[in-house]
Amino acid sequence: MFLLLHFVVLLDVKGFALTEGSTITPVCPEGYFPCGNLTKCLPRSFHCDGVNDCGDGADEDNCGDTSGWATIFGTIHGNADEVTFAPECFLTQHPRRCDCRGTELECVNAGLRSVPPTSGNVTLLSLKKNKIRSLPDKVFIKYTALRKIFLQHNCIRHISRKAFVGLHNLQILYLSHNCITALRPGLFKDLHQLAWL
């Protein structure tokens, strides 16, 4: 997405001089985004991460949720503003400290140390900001309907090679902001529908 700006004053942005009536399309290197004032580019991982990296908070503006990249998700997976949640829960089993809407389960900052038991028809599992340190073999095996898993901010250190076995419908897997230093070969072999990692 390019941002088109019209400037009326002289402005110096990383060596570019703009004069009255000039138009610029700022371009950051691949994997980076411009701060609101366009004087610097930051890695995409800094967008919507809860830390003011731009100085003026521009990297934290327009964040629909703490997983970030709301605009990109809207472009790729439909407009987030048009998403409607079912008012009732269709999961027969889920922890009380989690929020359930339809077949989606949100266990954000719930103090969990492992993946909680829930119904097999769960389609979204958000376990952000918990205390999960490892994902053992077949931890999600009963949840074959899962399309989205959010595991950010857990300090996960170890992921078993068979942790994601059987998740053939999984489209989105968020593992950012963890303590992972290495991933084993074959870890994602069953994730045939995965579009976002």
Confidence band of 103 (pLDDT split at 50, 70, 90): very high
Q: Are residues 51 and 109 in the same domain?
A: no
Ramachandran angles phi, psi of 139, nearest 5°: -65, -25
Q: Is 79 among the domain residues?
A: no
Q: Are residues 29 and 116 in the same domain?
A: no
pLDDT the model gives residue 163: 92
Mean pLDDT value of segment 82-97: 77
Q: Is 74 among the domain residues?
A: no
**CA dihedral for 96, 162, 76, 6, sign (positive or negative):** positive
Q: Are residues 114 and 169 in the same domain?
A: yes
Q: Is 134 among the domain residues?
A: yes
Q: Are residues 28 and 94 in the same domain?
A: no
Q: Is the pLDDT of residue 116 over 60?
A: yes
Q: Are residues 104 and 141 in the same domain?
A: yes
Minimum mean pLDDT among 1-5, 96-100, 118-122, 140-144: which range?
1-5
Which has more confidence, 66 or 42? 42
The pLDDT tens digits of the residues spanning 62-85 come to: 665 444 444 445 544 555 444 454
pLDDT above 70 covers a percentage of the chain that reads 69
Q: Is the pLDDT of residue 130 over 80?
A: yes
Mean pLDDT value of segment 156-173: 94
Asked if residues 112 and 127 have their Cβ atoms less than 8 Å apart, the reply is yes
The residue length of the chain stands at 197
Distances from the Cα of 138 to the Cα of 35, 112, 162, 181, angstroms: 41, 18, 6, 21
Which has more confidence, 109 or 83? 109
The distance in angstroms from the start CA to the end CA of the chain is 20
* Number of compact structural domains in the chain: 2
Q: Is 55 among the domain residues?
A: yes
Confidence band of 36 (pLDDT split at 50, 70, 90): low
> Bridge partners of 6?
23
Confidence band of 49 (pLDDT split at 50, 70, 90): low
Q: Domain containing 21 — which CATH number?
A: 4.10.400.10
Distances from the Cα of 1 to the Cα of 30, 33, 56, 103, 167, angstroms: 12, 10, 21, 32, 32
- Which domain covers residue 47, as residue numbers? 5-63
**What kind and span of H or E run contains 149?**
strand 148-150
Question: pTM (2 decimals)?
Answer: 0.58
What residues have CB less than 8 Å from 190, skipping those under 6 apart? 164, 165, 166, 167, 168
Which has more confidence, 67 or 150? 150
Q: Are residues 53 and 137 in the same domain?
A: no
Q: Is the pLDDT of residue 6 over 70?
A: no
Q: Is 72 among the domain residues?
A: no
Q: Are residues 92 and 155 in the same domain?
A: yes
Q: Is the pLDDT of residue 186 over 50?
A: yes
Q: Are residues 47 and 106 in the same domain?
A: no
**Most confident residue range from 53-57, 68-72, 149-153:** 149-153
Taking phi first (over 0 means left), then psi (-120 to 50 degrees means alpha), and beta for anything else, what does residue 39 get? alpha
Q: Are residues 88 and 166 in the same domain?
A: yes
What residues have CB less than 8 Å from 153, skipping those under 6 apart? 128, 129, 130, 177, 178
